[in-house]
Amino acid sequence: MNASTDRIERKILLKAARSRVWRALSNAEEFGEWFRVSLKGQAFVAGQRARGHITYPGYEHLVFDVLVERIEPERLLALRWHPAAIDAAVDYSKEPTTLVEFELTEVEGGTLLTLVESGFDKIPPERRLEAFRMNSGGWDEQMKNIEKHVATP
């Protein structure tokens, strides 16, 4: 794990073709299946938002809300969001967002997925460490989720 307080980085070798991993990332509905968010009827389109209710137990009252920043087919999906925005009574819209980048590299034995979430140093100090901690643990879980998801046809 990177010791930086500004970024979280995870790498995982997925035993699946790059096209399969790309579909799991870039197809909003399929992304929602493994990420545990309802994105039925939505698509990831650069410059547009995707929103849906989180389906992870205990967080169903929260809305997943991302801005798709960049899509480079079979290589990169970049999203912006408000990290650890878990208090429904708080308006996070005035806070800076973090950048979440999923990068794919074809390697022997499958596809290397590199996840980087950066921009935590711009989050308000009173939320920064907890947001970093929560998302760091969350990415550990999501790497397992996508690994399991792409292992099934």
Q: Percentage of residues in the chain with pLDDT exceeding 90?
A: 92
Cβ–Cβ < 8 Å for 67, 87: no
Task: Output the pLDDT for position 2.
Answer: 45
Beta-bridged to residue 50, according to DSSP, are: 66
Q: Read off the pTM.
A: 0.95
Q: Residue 1: pLDDT above 70?
A: no
CATH superfamily of 7-151: START domain (3.30.530.20)
DSSP-derived letter for residue 121 is G
Tokens standing for 4?
């930086």
Alpha-helix residue ranges (DSSP H) falling in the chain: 18-26, 28-35, 125-151
Among residues 111, 127, 107, 110, which one has the least CA distance to residue 119? Answer: 127
Q: Which two tokens stand for residue 130?
A: 């907890």
Determine the Cα angle at 52 with ends 41 and 89, to 5°: 160
